[in-house]
Amino acid sequence: MTETPHGLADVRLTFASATDVGHKRAVNEDSLLAESPIFIVADGMGGHEAGDKASAAVIDAFARLLEADTVTIDDVTQAVEYAHNSVEAIADLTTRGAGSTLTGIVLVEHADTPQWLVVNIGDSRVYRAHGSDLAQLTIDHSVVAQLVADGTLQPEEAATYVGRNVITRAVGSPESPPDFWLHPLVTGERLLICSDGLTGELDDETIRATLTSAASAQQVADDLLAHALDNGGRDNVTLIVVDVVAGGLEASDPSFDEINTETTEVRVNDTVEVPSRKGRPPFGD
């Protein structure tokens, strides 16, 4: 699908999504929203009783923003708070509790330029592919990510670590603030938003090779889903692929290398930006 986001008339995006219950689960507890300018994936927790309701509540909080002509950073922060309250209310009505991850990108105008506002709580992920390169824009809020960051666990050990599915932040849980980053929109880039049902089955090289192919967004989404299912499909698998077709920074511009295209962490409470860093954004809060 191709659309023009509200208020950003020069931007052209092509996007596609895919979701599957997988081979082991009875219910798909993932939910997604892929409607420009908002692209969100939520992975619910709480079993048959509440997992799907929790992730649906997260998506509903963001779907409300589509009623407005424009979406701002403040709108997104309010949607996160609304999602927290909604999932907490669902948890209060269950015996097992409930929660959800939340990750995605929202196209906003900041400093008079179109930018991606990246948001994350939990261990669902946002990736960015440009040329032949792949980068993970989000930081997992998980026990295994903390152990790797601390140097206690080696990165190559993370995939088999017994506690790899334990997350340290969740929508609906206390002391679970979101991470926010701003990233300039770049023409030709491709973004992937996905639940851990995808990343748990595919290594980064498979994701990179598939994302950087010349196939359409829909074909890439279908291929990634098929690869995950072929590799076991042990969890629900949900993903969105977004291509920036026009309206972003142009790599062909002679000044492109002088423009800061790195991810910048944002403190949304006071709208103060902290300096960008090479590589991944700083871990956590």
Q: What is the pLDDT along the chain (285 residues), one digit of tens a residue?
A: 655 444 478 999 999 999 999 999 999 999 999 999 999 999 999 776 789 999 999 999 999 999 998 899 999 999 999 999 999 999 998 888 899 999 999 999 998 889 999 999 999 999 999 999 999 999 999 888 888 888 888 777 777 777 677 899 999 999 999 999 999 999 999 999 999 999 999 999 999 999 999 999 999 999 999 999 999 999 999 999 999 999 999 877 655 565 555 666 665 543 333 223 223 332 232
- What are the two backbone dihedrals, phi and then psi, of residue 129, each rounded to the nearest 5 degrees? -115, 135
* Domain presence at residue 283: no
Residue 163 CA to its chain's centroid (Å) = 22
* Domain presence at residue 77: yes
Closest by alpha carbon to 134, among 219, 194, 76? 194
Instruction: Count Cβ atoms within 10 A of the Cβ of residue 272 and give its class: 0-12 exposed, 13-18 middle, 19 or more buried.
Output: exposed
* Domain presence at residue 188: yes
Domain housing 96: 2-252+261-273
* Domain presence at residue 284: no
Q: Could you say which DSSP state residue 279 is in?
A: S
- Total of domains in the chain: 1
- Global pTM value: 0.88
3-state SS, residue 52 = helix
> Which residues, 6+ apart, have CB-to-CB distance to 20 below 8 Å?
28, 225, 228, 229, 233, 236, 237, 238
β-strand pairing of 99-100 with 102-110: unpaired
The CATH number of whichever domain residue 231 belongs to comes to 3.60.40.10
* Domain presence at residue 282: no
* Domain presence at residue 25: yes
* Domain presence at residue 241: yes
* Domain presence at residue 281: no
